[in-house]
Amino acid sequence: MASFVKILVVDDDYNICELIRLYLEKEGFTVVTAYTGTKALDLFKAETPSLVVLDIMLPELDGWQVCREIRRISNIPIIMLTAKGETFDKVLGLELGADDYMVKPFETKELVARIKAVLRRYEQKSADVKEVVYPNLLINLATYQLKVNGKFMDIPPKELELLYYLASHPNKVFTREQLLQEVWGFDYFGDSRTVDVHIKRLREKLDCGEQPWELKTVWGVGYKFEVK
């Protein structure tokens, strides 16, 4: 699992970032680092990490603000780091949507163990729910239902599966070949234009005014579900 998992580590202390990176890369994780809140959000949108390790005391935007913004567009796991140990900070972090909380100084091995545990819980929860929710949009793969602006819509299974897959990976770009492989399966030998046709039909169903999300074409590459 680890080699396919990207972790975003955010701390204004370069040495802490490098120490965490060292331990995580030894475990096979891919790691990207940021030293300010603004850079953290930029990297989050560009790299689509699987988990964020987030310090509270950051320049430009603090960890609370970064956590709020991430939670506005994604439900991926967040582990908060801080030198503060007050109960108020722990409660606020959890209320904002953090999944775990560690107080500095901490044992790096314990942080790695918590990251693995949080990822396991998140993957299990995602597998059980099979539902993606955004403002004015609900996609449920368990019941094969699509709700847009409060109204359920008729939709063929493959269109729903394609939309669910893209929406489950917000802001991540997929080629047509990747989508054929992930949605249609390894044994599907269809033309890549099949994806284009399904995207066109999905856009017709989702064309209901301005929304904070859209199915977007990335010219020369493929498609992504963009969350603004």
pLDDT digits (tens, 9 = 90+) for 190-212: 567 888 999 999 999 998 788 99
Confidence (pLDDT) at 98: 85
User: What confidence category does residue 101 fall into, taking pLDDT thresholds of 50, 70 and 90?
Assistant: confident
Q: State whether 139 and 124 are in the same domain.
A: no
What confidence tens digit (pLDDT) does each residue in 10-37 have?
999 999 999 999 999 999 999 999 999 9
Tens digits of per-residue pLDDT, 27-78? 999 999 999 999 999 999 888 899 999 999 999 999 999 998 988 877 789 9
Of 95, 110, 128, which residue sits at a domain end?
128
10 and 106 inside one domain:
yes
| Same domain membership, residue 78 and residue 31 | yes
Q: Could you read off the pLDDT of 148-183 as tens digits, one per residue?
A: 998 999 898 889 999 999 999 999 999 998 898 888
Give me the percent of the chain exceeding a pLDDT of 70: 90
Residues 102 and 155 in one domain: no
Tell whether 77 and 111 lie within a shared domain: yes
Q: Name every residue whose Cβ is closer than 8 Å to that of residue 9 and which is 6 or more positions away in sequence.
A: 17, 20, 21, 24, 31, 32, 33, 34, 52, 53
Tell me: do 121 and 156 sit in the same domain. no
Average pLDDT value for the chain:
87
**What was the pLDDT predicted at 3?**
47
Q: For residue 101, give the nearest of 120, 116, 114, 117 by alpha carbon.
A: 114
Domain that holds residue 168: 131-227
Cα–Cα distance for residue pair 115/11, rounded to 1 Å: 16
Q: What is the DSSP letter of 206?
A: H
Cβ–Cβ under 8 Å, residues 101 and 90: yes
Domain tally, the chain = 2
Of 225, 185, 170, nearest to 202 (Cα)? Answer: 225
Residues 99 and 41 in one domain: yes
Cα-trace Rg, the chain? 19
> Looking at residue 214, which CATH number applies to its domain?
1.10.10.10
Q: Is the pLDDT of residue 120 over 60?
A: yes
Examine the fold and report which residue of 88, 103, 128 is the final residue of a domain before the chain moves on: 128
Task: Give CA–CA dist 97/27, Å, rounded.
Answer: 26
- Does residue 159 sit in the same domain as residue 192? yes
Tell me which residue of 99, 107, 103 sits closest to 87, measured CA to CA: 103
**pLDDT category, 88, cuts 50, 70, 90?**
low
Identify the band that residue 184 occupies on the pLDDT scale cut at 50, 70 and 90. confident
